[in-house]
Amino acid sequence: MQASEFIDHQVPVLKKTDVVGTALSWMEELQVDALPVIDSRKFLGFVDQEVLEELPNALGTLDQVPLENSTCWVVEGKHLYDLLGVAYTHQSKWVAVVDRNLQYLGVAPLEKAVEAISEGLSFPAEGSVLSLSMQFKEYQLSEIARLVESENAKILSCMVSSNPLDSTAIEVTLKLDKVDVRHIKATLERFGYRVREYYREDAALSTEEERIGNLLRFLDI
């Protein structure tokens, strides 16, 4: 899942020589609050709708308008996770995608990236979700997988998130292909892992959907 796969080619690009009124018209038509600006295929940043609406002259050109998030871009071959990381760092709903020569290719909406993540979390196979808490230095996915597979189960997906209260700790969320994970839980705890919580298939899906829904509402997309 490379960044270039998430480019929305329907999103137009503005140039420094475009006038404010044109930018506002496109934003209104597309119902977006920002658009990318380039100069000779070089990405300059995003122009914000609120900034444009405060300008007294709709005939002024964009080269006089302050732009935002000029470093909010990734190279086309970067992974989806890199795209999400850049979006998070800049708190942006858009990430520009450039080629290896840093020439502008298009923008990737964060919405499309989130949809890809949500699809990856929801396997059609019956199963459950199990969450582990540990120190980052203790994290070794190969060892966790070995213990899970020793109970005739498989890891369908794995997500690692940081602990906001402890920079050295992480939470590892596993999607497994087994509904009954009591033996897996016991095996992991026997080897020193702390099982924070676990859910059967129905509860797991509802939890994932709720988290994704909350993220989409936060992003207002």
Q: What is the pLDDT of residues 122-160, one digit of tens each?
A: 555 678 888 999 999 999 999 999 999 999 999 988 888
pLDDT of residue 206: 46
pLDDT of residue 210: 53
Domains, the chain, ordered by start: 3-116 (3.10.580.10), 123-202 (3.30.70.260)
Report phi then psi at 6, rounded to 5.
-105, 5
pLDDT of residue 201: 54
Residue corresponding to tokens 């900034």: 51
One-letter amino acid of 118: S
CA distance 210 to 12: 32
Low-confidence ranges of the chain (pLDDT < 50): 203-208, 218, 221
User: Does an H or E element contain 149, and which?
Assistant: helix 141-149
pLDDT of residue 74: 94
pLDDT of residue 1: 74
Strands (E) in the chain, as ranges, are 14-15, 34-39, 42-48, 73-75, 94-98, 104-109, 128-135, 155-163, 166-176, 194-200
One-letter amino acid of 34: A
HEC secondary structure over 56-84: CCCCCEHHHCCCECCCCEEECCCEHHHHH
> Which one, of 97, 115, 99, 116, lies nearest residue 107 by Cα?
97
Q: What is the pLDDT of residues 75-100, one digit of tens each?
A: 998 888 788 889 888 989 899 999 99
Strands (E) in 40-144, as ranges, are 42-48, 73-75, 94-98, 104-109, 128-135
Tokens describing residue 138: 């203790």
